[in-house]
A and B are shown apart, each in its own frame.
Chain A
């Protein structure tokens, strides 16, 4: 099958084109650098099916960022049959800069002039025929979004792929032409592929090329000695870049005729930007947006309406007040059940409503029905136990978290698609620099709230190796969607058990999110001042024009996420749930154990072995015979964080069967989200007598420890270096152990605060002392 590679600048509509061509649901976003790896799909409407490869968005083929190297090596080594270069017509000059570099390779090429609709809307015109003539390769006007011109584009590309093309350069009328030509001829003599491309890169002194053509370098240096330019001296990198842009301004830019001759005009996007990144309002607006996202997703008090009602001394009536509940607290009819998903003395936020509908009306019904069916099927007791208490409990505990994860993810997708994410980096860069990072590392970090895996992959947009390593290491501290169930279940249980329902579970949840961020900041500071010292990386970043997020793209994001989540629930999580259930229901002599004999099981035995290790964290030896349940949940979490809650559910069911003391006044219909999880935690509290600091320390430990299998695997491939990866694992273990211990000891004995403060001060002094005289701040040289 022929392969067509899509190459272009970040944010030029490349991924949208890819989706339109292949009908796939690849990730699309309005943030420079969303596609960080290459993906492929199949386009079927040509003479024969062709593979379409989506390369990462790049501005140049320089050797400085991993993405540029990926794209460059793909074209050079894999030799696709055609390169489709997408050019954002609204930003012609900069986009064509990359084009001039791809032109130098010996590969058939077609230009897709994207966003033509936007250009024409402004009343501007582009003479595509003229551009085609000047570039020497076919140019097709398209709109990836409206799927216009795609068939023509692919036909042209197919046509081109039948031919052979030799590289051409726009540098042939510069002073460098002779030098380049000499090197090219020398390389051709050595039978090097793409001689023109390599020749120009060698002249530039490109790191990768210099290492690749060691024997040719002395010759190039010899040629270079004869060369001197008035403005640039012997800065060949500058000469080449300047030559390209000069040519573009002179020959390519004139194909665009502007209706509005003004050089720097204000667009609608600029007006929006004036407000959103305003000197005074910028940061408050950002904080407000973040608050709204969390409010819309999690709040059970939408727009604080019920709070206002209380202030006005006319509190909203609960369903009970309205007489819509039976004596047992159940809705009197089906309609009221629906009403209860939206309202109960307070109006729920959209996120909570979706969640209630999903859990109470769909998943709960379905699993309840299946459970009933199994119960009445007359199967062996152990089989019923395995299916109902093991598999179904575990699965429903995991699936119940799909709505909040998707809602949160939807909001982040909107921020990304609209172009606001890039502005957040712009606003926060100054702050991030304090910690030795750039504002760009904010995006991977906040993506970590959704899932660590794409977040870690996204760190490829960071050019600086040390910044990347530091960012990858702290991403798991940004509590991901899968950790949310742990938070809400434990927080809900703490509130019910210890505060008798008078506290705020949300407050604990928010506090834990903030704890994660604080741990991330502290550890970045520590790393950047010890093992990962280095200059603050540059922050030269495009701020894409704002636009309305596309419904199609948003749905693609969500569908992708759902698929991933459901697949995970039914594979790795299901499997580990079964394994855990089996190992908790069989003893070392492979005898089936009833739920109440859980303490004699294989897993209980194994977990007890490592239980003492967690004593300083408050969920170790002090918890007695049942104490191992927390240890086991934490260990199961290393496979997938959803496992913590599904393990809770499995173990909780056993504990309840084992007759743990009655659950303190637990009423099931007032609690948001996962009744199963909270019930399980309550059972575990009752069985073990764990304290509040112990529970909080348990959450803190889970939030900061080694993330799930998938994230660990991603970290390994992203960090590349084996040693660096091993240290990352050590870092996660030490951090989580320390954070857990701090939380537990200070929570239990407040005066230990002073001991920890003394330790922190000691460490700080040591680092400052150690670094004294060694810190060299290298500022870029001032021009002139």
Chain B
């Protein structure tokens, strides 16, 4: 199953398929390691619901929902690793 990062539930993880967005934002996402093949776990949402906190390439990154919409992922099967974050 594929969906964009903003639609992930907390603790869900997946593999990046495609990164959209424009110029600056896309470049920034790439520079921070969100490239096809990278694994991402949605850790939490900020108290006001936005931005999101994810784990990518073994570190924590925060990004907004509008930016997360640019990232399309293959959702991993029922998660074992995700349990750890709960």
Residue ranges of A at the interface with B (Cβ–Cβ < 8 Å): 59-60, 62, 64, 90-94, 97, 231, 237-238, 241-242, 245-246, 249, 262-266, 270, 273-274, 277-280, 282-283, 426-427, 429-431, 433, 439, 463, 538-545, 779-784
Contacts and interface: CB of A to CB of B under 8 A. Distances in A.
B59 to A, nearest CB: 5
A429 B41 CA distance: 21
Nearest to B58: A91
A407 B76 CA distance: 49
Given A94-B57, A264-B41, A439-B51, A783 B35 contact: no
Contact of B72 (A262, A543, A783): A783
A284 B62 CA distance: 20
Given A429-B46, A783-B19, A784-B20, A540 B63 contact: yes
A545 B60 CA distance: 8
A266 B67 CA distance: 25
Given A237-B27, A540-B61, A59 B47 contact: no
A282 B47 contact: yes
The 10 A-B pairs with the shortest beta carbon distances in the complex, nearest first, are A430-B48, A783-B20, A241-B30, A783-B72, A60-B31, A282-B47, A543-B60, A780-B21, A245-B35, A93-B57
A266 B44 CA distance: 13
B20 A94 contact: no
B22 interface: yes
Interface residues of B, number: 52
B26 A237 contact: yes
A249 B82 CA distance: 22
Contacts of A429: 46, 48, 50-51, 62, 64
A97 B32 CA distance: 9
A541 B62 contact: yes
Most-contacted residue by chain A among B4, B25, B47, B49 (CB, 10 A): B47
B20 to A, nearest CB: 4
Given A539-B62, A781-B70, A782-B70, A262 B84 contact: yes
Contacts of A264: 13, 41, 55, 81-82, 84-85
Contacts of A277: 44, 46-47, 53
B22 to A, nearest CB: 6
A783 B33 contact: no
Contacts of A430: 46, 48-51
A784 B21 CA distance: 10
12 contacts: A97-B31, A97-B33, A277-B44, A429-B51, A429-B62, A430-B48, A433-B64, A538-B24, A539-B63, A545-B59, A782-B69, A783-B70
Contacts of B75: none
A540 B32 contact: yes
A283 B47 contact: yes
B69 A780 contact: yes
A241 B33 CA distance: 9
B46 A91 contact: no
A59 B81 CA distance: 28
Interface in B1-24: 4, 13, 18-22, 24
A718 B43 CA distance: 36
A781 B28 CA distance: 15
Contacts of A433: 64
B31 A263 contact: no
A242 B22 CA distance: 16
Contacts of A241: 27, 30-31, 35
Contacts of A263: 13, 39, 41, 81
A240 to B, nearest CB: 9
Given A264-B82, A540-B28, 10 more contacts: A59-B31, A62-B28, A93-B57, A245-B30, A246-B37, A270-B60, A277-B53, A463-B24, A542-B60, A780-B67
A274 B85 CA distance: 9
B46 A783 contact: no
A93 B58 CA distance: 8
Contact of A784 (B39, B61, B72): B72
Nearest to A279: B47
Contacts of B72: 783-784
Contacts of A538: 24-25, 28, 63-64, 67
A277 B49 CA distance: 11
A262 B55 CA distance: 13
Contacts of B39: 263
A242 B20 contact: no
A238 B26 contact: yes
B53 A426 contact: yes
Contacts of A238: 19, 26, 30
A277 to B, nearest CB: 7
Given A246-B37, A430-B48, A64 B22 contact: no
A783 B20 CA distance: 5
A386 to B, nearest CB: 57
Contacts of B61: 540-543
Contacts of A237: 26-27, 30
A238 B51 CA distance: 24
Contacts of A282: 46-47
Contacts of B30: 237-238, 241-242, 245
B67 to A, nearest CB: 6
Contacts of A273: 60
A283 B46 CA distance: 10
A608 B37 CA distance: 72
Contacts of A783: 4, 18-21, 69-72
B73 to A, nearest CB: 9
A780 B25 contact: yes
B38 A245 contact: yes
A426 B46 contact: yes
A755 to B, nearest CB: 36
Contacts of A265: 84
Nearest to A91: B59
A157 B56 CA distance: 32
A273 B45 CA distance: 12
Contact of B70 (A64, A245, A283, A780): A780
A54 B28 CA distance: 23
Contact of B33 (A245, A270, A544): A245
